[in-house]
Amino acid sequence: MVADLNPTPDQEIKAQAEFFAREGYVNVPQLFAPGEVEEIREIFARMHAEGVPGHYVPREVADGVKNPDDPLFQYPRVMMPHRFNDRAKHYMLLPRVIDRLRVFFGMDPVATQSMFYFKPPGARGQALHQDQFYLLVEPGSCIAAWTAIDDTDAENGAILVVPKTNQADIVCPAVADARISYTSHFVPVPEGHKVQLVPMKAGDTLFFNGSIIHGSGPNRSKTRFRRSFISHYAAGNIRKISASYRPLIKMDGTEYEVEPQTSGGPCGEGWKGSLH
C-alpha cells in the first residue's frame, strides 16, 4: 500500500487518534504557531513580573516550595489562568486542540484546568504520577494537552511518559524523592514497561490519557527555561470531578457545573483530590 504523502487534516487526526488509543499519548508537532507560542510566553512573563490577581495559588499551596532560594519559589506555577486571563482561556479552547480532543473522546470535551510552568534553570522536576488521581473524573478519565513553550530535551527536563499505561489502574502513590521532585507523590513504573523521554519543539503539543504515568526530570541547564502551557479536559458526559476543578468550561466558553467527587479514589475516603 502506498502511503499518502499529502494527508488531509482529517486523516492526520485519525492517525493521531489511533496512536493515542494504542499508546495512551501522542505528540502533535507544531500545533501552536510560532506567534502563538510567543504570545503565551509574553503573557506569563508579564504575570510573573507584575503579579497575578487573587486566583494565583500561593507558593506553599501550589508547589510546597518554601525556600526563597529555590528556583521554583522564584518562578512558581500559574494555576487556572483561564479564570482571570482571556487569552489563556482562548488558548485553552484553541480549535486545533479541541478538534483532536473530540476524536480522542468521541464527543465534545469540557475544559477542567489550565496551568503554566516556568521550570527555570536549576528547578527540580516532577516525579512520575497519574493525572486522574487528582481530577477523579467520572465517568471515564481526563486528557492533558501539554504544549511546549520552549524546546525541551533531557538537559532542561523534558517530559517523561510510560507508554501503554493508559489502561493501568490509578494507584495510591508512594513518596517521591524531594531532592529531584518538587511534588511529594511518586507512582512506580509497572513491570514490563519503560520510561520514555519525549523531546519536543516549542509549539508541539503532547496529549496523554489520565492514567498514563508521566513526569519530568530536573532542569539541569544553566540558562534555559522549560516553559509549558497545560490544560486538562474531560468528556462532555462528565458527572463528577474533584471540587477544586469546578466550574468546568464548555467549548463555547460558558461555565458548566457538575457534582463534586466524593470518592477518595485509590487512597480512600480521606483523599478528596486537589489541584496538582
Q: What's residue 272's pLDDT?
A: 61
Is the model more confident about 205 or about 66? 205
Domain map (residue ranges) of the chain: 9-261
pTM > 0.95: yes or no: no
> 71: Cβ–Cβ under 8 A, 6 or more apart, which residues?
120, 121, 122, 123, 219
What φ, ψ does residue 146 adopt, rounded to 5°? -110, 105
pLDDT 10s digits, 14-28: 999 999 999 999 999
Q: What's residue 271's pLDDT?
A: 65
Q: Is the pLDDT of residue 3 over 60?
A: no
Q: DSSP characters for 99-116?
A: HHHHHHHTS-EEEEEEEE
Is the model more confident about 13 or about 53? 13
pLDDT 10s digits, 147-169: 999 999 999 999 999 999 999 99
CB 147 within 8 A of CB 31: yes
Interstrand relation of 228-235 and 109-117 (parallel, antiparallel or unpaired): antiparallel
Reading the block at residue 6, the C-alpha cell is 499529502
Q: Is the pLDDT of residue 67 over 90?
A: no
- How does residue 263 score in pLDDT terms, banded at 50, 70 and 90? confident
CA distances from 30 to 27, 100, 153 (A): 9, 14, 16
Domain 9-261: give its CATH architecture. Sandwich (2.60)
> What's the half-sphere exposure (Cβ side, CA atoms, 13 Å) at 252?
3
The Cα–Cα gap between 165 and 210 comes to 10
pLDDT 10s digits, 95-130: 999 999 999 999 999 999 999 999 999 999 999 999
Q: Kindly tell me the sign of the dihedral angle through the C-alpha atoms of 271, 187, 219, 82.
A: negative
Q: What's residue 58's pLDDT?
A: 47
How many CB atoms are closer than 10 A to CB 22?
12
The Cα–Cα gap between 185 and 172 comes to 9
- How does residue 73 score in pLDDT terms, banded at 50, 70 and 90? confident
Q: What's residue 268's pLDDT?
A: 82
> 264: Cβ–Cβ under 8 A, 6 or more apart, which residues?
270, 271, 272
- 47-64 average pLDDT score: 62
The Cα–Cα gap between 166 and 106 comes to 16
> 151: Cβ–Cβ under 8 A, 6 or more apart, which residues?
199, 200, 201, 202
Q: What's residue 2's pLDDT?
A: 39
DSSP category for residue 138: B
Q: What's residue 264's pLDDT?
A: 83
Q: Is the pLDDT of residue 59 over 60?
A: no
Q: What's residue 64's pLDDT?
A: 60
Q: Is the pLDDT of residue 60 over 50?
A: no
Whole-number percent of the chain with pLDDT over 90: 81
Q: Which helix (H) or strand (E) holds 186?
A: strand 185-186
Q: What's residue 69's pLDDT?
A: 85
Q: Which helix (H) or strand (E) holds 23?
A: helix 9-23
- 180-190 average pLDDT score: 94
Interstrand relation of 126-129 and 174-175 (parallel, antiparallel or unpaired): unpaired
Report, in angstroms and rounded to the nearest whole number, the Rg of the chain calculated over CA atoms.
18
Q: Is the pLDDT of residue 270 over 70?
A: no
